[in-house]
Structure formats: structure tokens, C-alpha cells
Chain A
Amino acid sequence: MFNTQIEYKMRNKLYLILMVSSTLLALTFSLNDLSAQKMTCRTGHVSIESSNAVSNIEADNYQVQSTLNTETGDVSFVGLTKSFSLESGALDKAFNSQYVNVDGYSKFKYQGKLTNLDEIDFNKAGEYEFDVIGDLVVGESKRRTQVIGTLIVNSDLTIQAYSDFSIKIEQANVDQINTLLKERISESINFEVLGVSRDINLSVLFNYR
């Protein structure tokens, strides 16, 4: 029994405050968990290297956007074809000219999943190896890829992920790309310098937060 009416009211208030505080605390933790699950990067780097009989062609894109879900292991990135800059100044100017239109090929996308998620502790700083399987989509063509890379969990729990890998593209696709280049690039540019080969080296780097 309560001694006085005042004591009863105060106890009720205390219960109310406790209930509200614990609800807010629980909500805060659950929101933190949610935000920690999906990490994003707006300034990812994708580098492509291909060679032909005459020279190497290197292109870099520093505007690739990516998400990593640390709970499910889903990883995706999307970039714009025109965001690439070519190492060679002459080719870069040609690529950025009005002659190159990228209709139908304006974006490339990747959607994959980490297969060794249980080996990575996203709450503990350290270096981990990751294995990811997914689909790389350029225009209408989709390619299944399996890639191994390195993932660094920093002390502030931001993440850096990078990987270097090679893909061998089918001769039919090489012919298709080279025909496209020939069609869309000014005739004044020496086509032999631009043609790609079947071997393409890719490297990707993302800083997630």
C-alpha cells in the first residue's frame, strides 16, 4: 500500500519515464543496427585494362556507387560509362567528344553476394579475404563472375574492399565491342589503337561508410 497519494503519483511517473527511456533506447539500438547493415560508397573506383597489338588501353571511373549489406552479404555497384577517363589524353578527348554516344550502354551494374560472410566480422577491425559471386551487366549482356578480394574493417568500422581480377570475354563479344567502337568513334581516330582484346583486367576499390 502507498503511504500517500503523492508517493503513488511519483511512482507512476517513474514507471512512465523508465518505460519511455527503455523504448527510446531499444529504438536507438535497432536503428543503429539497421544503418550498420547497409553501407554505401559514392566514390568507388573501377579500373579497366585491355591491350591490343599496338598499345594498352587503361580507363578509370571514380564515380561508381556501391552498397554492401553486412547482414545479408549482398553487394552491388553501378557506374556510368561516360564517367570513365582514359589514360591516354588523345583517346580521352576522343571518348569525351560528341562522336561517342553511349545509348543503350550508359550504365554497368553488378549484383552479387558474399559467399564467406561467416568468416568476416564487420564489428572487429582487421583484414579479411572475401569471396563474391554475382552478375555483371553491361547493356543487354550479363556475365556470371566469381571474384576473390580483400576487405579491411577500419577501427571506426568503415570498410575498404578491393579486388583485382581478369575476365576473358568471348570472341563474339570482342567483335561486337570493336564494331561498336568503329561505328561510334570518328574515322579520324586510328581504330587499331582502340580495339580491345579478349583479356580484360579489372580492379575495383570501394570505401564504405
Chain B
Amino acid sequence: MKKLGKLSLVIITVLTCIALFIIFQPQYSTQGIEPDYTVKIGQLHQSFEQNESQASQKYIGKVIETSGFVIEVNKDVTGANVLLLSNTKNGDPQILCTLDSKYDNSSEGDLKIGTKVKVKGQCTGMLLEVVLKNGILLD
């Protein structure tokens, strides 16, 4: 009887730990994840412009690493930095990348208009620009 009580306690503890692990698991992040593709910004944008369906199948959900010039810096409603990037200093925006606030240690200088930055983020598709979420600024 005593053994059964101990066993129940162990089972309950294990189940509670699993439940807590699931409930308090952090959200998805690209931090520490190797990029699936390292592509030039113009090439990525062109892939979607030429054949959106094909590019979507290839890139959506994948972690992309690319670099480009900062055209504009906005903030979304959570206060996260949203970068518009292009392959030239004065070009049209080709990538919209929302930086993951948890890993965004960028200083004002890093996000100056015209600065070249390297980013990594998860591709979610194309609107006016190719969209990356959970973005991280790379050195």
C-alpha cells in the first residue's frame, strides 16, 4: 500500500513536470538555429516576384540569412524593431524583418538608415516585401 502511494506520488510529480514544461515552454525563436538558406537579398526578392508559388514552397517556414541596407526602421505595437532592407542604399524595400525583442541588443547606430546589416529570420511569405519574423541581427 505504501509502495502504491509512493508510485502515485512519482507519477503525479512527473506528469506535473511535463505539464509545466509544455505550459511554460518559450515561444519559437531562430536563436541558435542554423539557417536553411543563405541568400542575397535581391535573389530572394526576385524568386518571389518571378514565381511566388514556387518560392513560397521553397522558403516559407525556413530560416533565411541575408544582408542588406537599412531603408527604414519602424516599431510594431509591441515595440519590436521592424527593418525594411534593400540591396542598394536608396533602393525600394525588398525585405521586411521584425527583430525578436528577446535577442535584439541593437544600438541606434546599428539601425541607422543606409547601414548594411546581416539578419537571420524565419520567412513567412511575401506581401509588399518578403517578410521575415523572429529576426536576429548578426555580426
Taking Cβ atoms with an 8 Å cutoff, the residues of A that contact B are 42-43, 45, 62-63, 65, 78-83, 85-86, 88-90, 92-93, 95-96, 98, 100-103, 106-107, 205, 207
Q: Which of B22, B26, B124 has the most CB atoms of chain A within a 10 A radius of its CB?
A: B124
Known: A88-B23, A96-B122. A82 touches B28 (CB 8 A): no
Contacts of B26 in A (CB 8 A): 89
Contacts of B122 in A (CB 8 A): 82, 96
B22 pairs with A90, CB closer than 8 A:
yes
Determine the residue in chain B with the shortest Cβ distance to A99: B61
Taking Cβ atoms with an 8 Å cutoff, the residues of B that contact A are 22-28, 56-57, 60-61, 74-78, 80, 82, 84, 96, 98, 122-125, 127-128, 131, 133
Query: Could you list 9 A-B pairs, sorted by A, with CB under 8 Å?
Result: A42-B96, A42-B128, A43-B75, A88-B25, A89-B24, A93-B25, A95-B28, A106-B125, A107-B125
Known: A92-B28, A96-B122. A103 touches B74 (CB 8 A): no
Contacts of A45 in B (CB 8 A): 76-77
B77 pairs with A63, CB closer than 8 A:
no
Determine the residue in chain A with the shortest Cβ distance to B72: A42
Known: A88-B23, A98-B61, A100-B61. A43 touches B77 (CB 8 A): yes
Q: Pick from B25, B61, B80: contact of A101, CB below 8 A.
A: B61
B131 pairs with A63, CB closer than 8 A:
yes
Known: A42-B128, A89-B24. A62 touches B98 (CB 8 A): yes
Contacts of B82 in A (CB 8 A): 42-43, 63
A83 pairs with B27, CB closer than 8 A:
no
Known: A63-B124, A80-B124, A96-B122. A85 touches B60 (CB 8 A): no
A98→B123 CA distance, assembly (Å): 12
Q: Pick from B25, B56, B96: contact of A106, CB below 8 A.
A: B56
A78 pairs with B127, CB closer than 8 A:
yes
Shortest beta-carbon distance from B52 to chain A in Å: 9
B75 pairs with A82, CB closer than 8 A:
no
Contacts of A101 in B (CB 8 A): 60-61
Shortest beta-carbon distance from B125 to chain A in Å: 4
Contacts of B131 in A (CB 8 A): 63, 80, 83
Known: A43-B74, A100-B61. A85 touches B127 (CB 8 A): no
A80→B98 CA distance, assembly (Å): 14
Contacts of B60 in A (CB 8 A): 82, 101-102, 106
Contacts of B78 in A (CB 8 A): 62
A95→B134 CA distance, assembly (Å): 14
Shortest beta-carbon distance from B78 to chain A in Å: 6
Q: Pick from A42, A90, A95: contact of B25, CB below 8 A.
A: A90
A101→B124 CA distance, assembly (Å): 11
Contacts of B23 in A (CB 8 A): 88, 90
Q: Pick from B22, B77, B125: contact of A82, CB below 8 A.
A: B125
Beyond A65-B128, A88-B22, 6 extra complex contacts between A and B, CB < 8 Å:
A45-B76, A62-B76, A62-B78, A63-B131, A89-B24, A103-B57
